[in-house]
């Protein structure tokens, strides 16, 4: 029986090994524990090891967990598809949203962010593998969304998120992650103050780190199967 603490230690080892392998400084990747579909006890076990950032995809499930864990100093990241009728709750209950894929959603989050909270950190989800079924903006539509979104008052645009098509082939993983990084860098060169590449999951976090990920979203490798 492997515990969540042991799984988390293994994930931290993988992160450190990947950082060393590409000459990046220790601590330059943030680990988001993706706890969607996991019971409260699993979050508590991760919390007990010092994990503070949790990612959730389903609003109602997340709100229940947040209510139970309200006395802990946690950072909540929304990583699932955002429907218009959910934006008020998401704006009120999360620190980050990774999955912005259209202006209307961003405008609603900005308008609905409660005044007493800091600006909402957001990433635009990029559909890098151009799969019609996947959410995310295409590289062609990205520049105008970056421009419009960065003018919204209560949002702080931090960078890009991507979920490339899964493949076991490491150079294919790296090619997709590199394309996301190239996009981010092109906006940085245009003067946008972006600092976040949200990419890499349980199966491909090494490739993502090699290509510059600053935040990896890991579920199964920490909590086991959902």
The residues binding ligand PLP (CB under 6 A) are 34, 36, 57, 79, 163, 201-203, 217-221
- Residue 186 C-beta: closest distance to ligand PLP, Å: 23
| Cα 188 from Cα 54, distance rounded (Å) | 27
Measured from the CB atom, the residue of 30 and 186 that comes closer to ligand PLP is: 30
SS (H, E, C) 163-192: CCCCCCCHHHHHHHHHHHHHHHHHHHHCCC
Do the beta carbons of residue 124 and residue 160 sit within 8 Å? Answer: yes
Nearer to ligand PLP, 25 or 225 (CB): 225
Question: 25-47 burial by CB neighbour count: b if 16+ within 10 A, else e?
Answer: eeeebbbbbbbbebeeebbebbb
Q: Which residue is nearest to ligand PLP (CB)?
A: 219
Taking the least distance from each CB to ligand PLP, the nearer of 187 and 223 is 223
Give min distance, CB of 136 to ligand PLP, in A: 10
- CB 100 to ligand PLP: min, Å: 12
Considering beta carbons, is residue 87 or 154 the nearer one to ligand PLP? 87
């Amino acid at each position: 029986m492997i515990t969540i603490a042991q799984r988390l230690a293994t994930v931290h080892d993988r992160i450190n090994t990947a950082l060393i392998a590409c000459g990046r400084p220790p601590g330059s990747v943030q680990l988001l524990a993706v706890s969607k579909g996991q019971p409260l006890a699993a979050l508590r076990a991760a919390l007990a090891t010092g994990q503070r950032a949790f990612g959730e995809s389903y609003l109602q499930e997340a709100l229940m967990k947040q209510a139970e864990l309200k006395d802990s100093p946690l950072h909540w990241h929304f990583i699932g598809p955002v429907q218009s009728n959910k934006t008020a709750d998401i704006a009120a209950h999360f620190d980050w949203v990774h999955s912005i894929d259209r202006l209307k959603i961003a405008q609603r989050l900005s308008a609905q962010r409660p005044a007493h909270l800091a600006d909402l950190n957001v990433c635009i989800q990029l559909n890098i593998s151009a799969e019609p079924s996947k959410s995310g903006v295409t590289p062609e539509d990205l520049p105008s969304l970056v421009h419009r979104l960065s003018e919204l008052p209560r949002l702080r645009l931090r960078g890009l998120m991507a979920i490339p098509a899964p493949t076991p082939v490491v150079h294919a993983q790296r090619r997709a992650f590199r394309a996301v990084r190239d996009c981010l860098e092109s906006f940085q060169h245009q003067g946008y103050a972006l600092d976040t590449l949200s990419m890499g999951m349980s199966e491909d976090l090494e490739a993502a780190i090699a290509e510059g990920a600053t935040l990896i979203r890991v579920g199964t490798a920490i909590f086991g199967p959902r």
